[in-house]
Structure 1
Amino acid sequence: MLARQRQAVILEEARRSGAVRVSDLVLRLGVSDMTVRRDLDVLAGRGLVEKVYGGATSVGGKSTDEPGFEAKSVRQRTQKEAIASLAAGLVRPGTAIGISAGTTTWTMARALESIPGLTIVTNSIQVADVLRGSGEADRTVVLTGGVRTPSDALVGPVAVHSLRSLHLDLVFLGVHGMADGPGFTTPNLTESETNRALVEAGRKLVVLADHTKWGIVGISTIADLDEADVVVSDDGLSEHARETLAEQSGELMVANVDEDDE
């Protein structure tokens, strides 16, 4: 098991039970005490767990907690780039696509520069800035109106009205969390309504979410797991998460991440 896969298992268990013990993880993972402690150091350094004597506790996070764009953009950069590259391969020249707000979708937008003839609809200020700055003469970028959120999404009645009149080939959705039961969620009620309108505008839904999103539950569901035609994640995703997503969504695509690049 690779380090990031061990860490995903540890994180999932911490979120499920609220705390983990080093001794229990040694037995479960079949690795040394020092290896587990190093994994906990990595997770604690990312702000995902809090180290305590003999183990670690889950870093809570309320269902309405919403980090700003800048704070999220520095997390799991390597994983997001691998996911973005894989997801961009689904886009064909001349198609109409929707891209939601989020740092993973923003990363994917930068990978679309070489694809001609795209019409792109987004409620993300950051995504629109990237696409408009690419200099492609045959590209149309449509930015919905709306009220700005901490994650630089435009949400609310204006955005929803704009999206409900559109018909898109593909929709790429970034999410705050994903879990068996709640599905794909967000901590912002208004953004959830806007994202649902974006999802409904597309013939095919592609969800982009790195492995740390598994087990996170925001206050509002955007879509159920089985509404995703494709889920693109990275190879830090735990076996349980992979099995659940492969079973419930249309297709699970897993991006390989070079550990040396992390």
Structure 2
Amino acid sequence: MLASQRHTTIMDEIRRTGAVRVQDLTAQLGVSDMTIRRDLEQLAERGLVHKVHGGAVLTLNSSVELGFETKAKLQLPSKSAIAQMAATLIRPGSAIALSAGTTTWNLASLVAKIPGLTIVTNSTTVADLIANTPGAGDQTLILTGGVRTPSAALVGPVADLSLRSLHVDQLFLGAHGMHPTAGFTTPNLAEAETNRALIECASQVVVCADSTKWGSVGLASFGALSTAHVLITDDGLSDDAASLLREKVGKLRMAKLSHEDSPTIVG
């Protein structure tokens, strides 16, 4: 079982019972207690659980916002696979927007090599990566102003105003969480408003979120699940979650995680 699939199972169990024990999870998932402790550590770093002696409990704090450097180390295979799939949707010469986030940051290195793009972003890390990628194409890069958050997003009235004067063909949007009723969420109120401005300026909204984001709820919602014309995630998503998302989003795409194969569409 892949780490992302274990994380999904652990989160399903902890939401059902409110707490999990390491010894129960090792028996349920058939892995070592060291593996489970590492899984719980990664979930705790994302603010999804709170570690206690012998296990973990569900965190109730929906306003936890981890820094960019911390988030960039999490779910790397999933983010890479999602980014590769997202890049196949981009047409040379089009105008696109990339929101802040570590998944869109993974996409940025691929975007930098697509010729003729106009790229709008409210992320300082995305802008830096595109500007400094060797072999970058002849893009036009537009960085919004705004106040920088811990996740390297530029948000607030300046960012919102600049975005509302623009129109792009596609928006590639990250999310802190995705939930059946809360929709797409973030722990930052100002970032939620700026994400709404990004959505309003785009003809097509492509949400890029790994499967561990399912069921997580941040402080502020910025769009219903139906906001996504396309949702790209990974195949660690449970069957029930995939079924629900297919009903809500325009199109669900799941990158198959494999060390040998390229990401493929499985749904």
TM-score (norm 2): 0.87
**For residues 144 and 4 of structure 1, what CA distance do their matches in structure 2 show?**
33
Unpaired segments ≥5 residues, structure 1: none
Residue 161 (structure 1) aligns with:
161
| Letter matched to residue 194 of structure 1 | T
- Per the alignment, in what secondary structure is the counterpart of residue 46 of structure 1? helix
- Of all paired residues, the percent bearing the same amino acid is 51
How far off is 1:25 after superposition?
6.3
**Which amino acid in the other structure matches residue 105 of structure 1?**
T
The alignment's C-alpha RMSD in Å is 2.4
The 1:156/1:4 distance shift into structure 2, 3 A limit, reads closer
Amino acid in the other structure paired with 2:151? S
Report the count of equivalent residues.
Answer: 255
Secondary structure in 2 aligned to 1:169? Answer: strand
Question: CA contact under 8 A between 1:172 and 1:207: conserved in structure 2?
Answer: yes
| 1:42 shift after superposition | 3.7
Q: 5+ residue gaps in structure 2?
A: 262-267
Partner of 2:188: 188
- Partner Cα distance (2:247, 2:32) in 1: 30
The answer to which of 6-15 and 160-169 deviates more is 6-15
Structure 1 residues 137 and 8: alpha-carbon distance in aligned structure 2, compared to 1, 3 A threshold: closer
SS in 1 for 2:31: helix
Aligned to 2:264: none
Q: What is the distance in 2 between the residues matched to 1:260 and 1:14?
A: 32
**Which residue of structure 2 lines up, in the alignment, with residue 242 of structure 1?**
242
Write the mapping of 1:99-138 to structure 2, written as runs, cut at 5 A: 99-134=98-133, 136=136, 138=138
Q: Any runs of at least 4 consecutive aligned residues in structure 1 with deviations exceeding 4 A, and if so which? A: 21-26, 31-34, 36-39
- Residue 61 of structure 1 deviates from its aligned partner by 5.5
- Give the Cα–Cα distance (whole angstroms) in 2 for the partners of residues 33 and 206 of structure 1: 33
Whole-angstrom distance in 2 between the partners of 1:131 and 1:152: 15
Deviates most, 85-94 or 234-243? 234-243
Tell me which of 27, 31, 34 is aligned to 1:35. 31
Given that residues 81 and 255 in structure 2 are in contact (C-alpha distance below 8 angstroms), is that contact kept between their aligned partners in structure 1? yes
SS in 1 for 2:111: coil
- Give the TM-score taking structure 1 as reference length: 0.88
